[in-house]
Structure 1
């Protein structure tokens, strides 16, 4: 399943980049995240509880950042397994500057990648999984935006 999105932050790219690289901020904004523990450079052990329709499950796995171009882009790789099945994601995050007509610095964050699911959770159907994934992604970026404002 393809995952895409574009999010605007009312802050300059370096400030958004710093936030996107902050494990504590990331963990607090991932819906259902129970832990995100460092496990090397740009690698984390994670536990996340996700509920969709009648299936709620806890996933444990890894999250890593690869192909990092400081202040511009990175690749986010995630794998998790749990009772409901497995989840595997490969997403490119790109930041680009945008200046408003009033001269304020904004940052556009583009998200593009794929997510695979298997097991019981996959039987829910791609449509439900796709809308749940989009909702989680939107909640994550809304939360990250709120951290820029504080």
Structure 2
């Protein structure tokens, strides 16, 4: 499954980069996230709970690794999640470019989904992926706006 698009954040590129490295912010931005911890250099592990269509919500272990980081411009994200109902594996590229409206993020993910959750059908999975992506971007926007309003744009790494 391919998930790609772009989104413009109303803030400086370095601040957006810092948000995308902060496990507390990432946990807020990941729908269904129960916890997310930094366990190594660019490695995050946690638990998420997501249901898709007739497949009821279940907990999934999650590992996200950020590779090929070029601060504050780009990185590759490797994702591996698994639970009783299936798995998701794949990679995504994220590019941050300065733009007139702030910072434009361009992303492209190629994910493989297997197990019972894959049985709900590609169309439903595509719709859910788009919805979860939009929810995550909205959560990142809210966190960015809160930090800019508080004058703490530098954020934690």
Q: Which bracket does the TM-score occupy, shorter chain normalised?
A: over 0.9
Q: What is the alpha-carbon root mean square deviation over aligned residues?
A: 1.0
Structure 1, unaligned runs of 5 or more: 101-105
Q: Tell me the equivalent position of 1:103.
A: none
Q: Tell me the equivalent position of 2:140.
A: 144
Tell me the secondary structure at the aligned position of residue 61 of structure 1.
strand
Verify the 8 A CA contact 2:80 2:87 in the aligned structure 1.
yes
Matches within 5 A, 1:1-150: 1-55=1-55, 56-100=57-101, 106-150=102-146
Per mean C-alpha deviation after superposition, the further-off stretch among 54-63 and 121-130 is: 54-63
Deviation of 1:28 after TM superposition, in Å, equals 1.3
Deviation of 1:62 after TM superposition, in Å, equals 1.1
Tell me the secondary structure at the aligned position of residue 31 of structure 1.
coil
Tell me the secondary structure at the aligned position of residue 149 of structure 1.
helix
Structure 2, unaligned runs of 5 or more: 147-157
Q: Distance in 2 between matches of 1:58 and 1:131?
A: 20
Deviation of 1:14 after TM superposition, in Å, equals 0.9
TM-score normalised per structure 1: 0.93
Tell me the secondary structure at the aligned position of residue 39 of structure 1.
strand
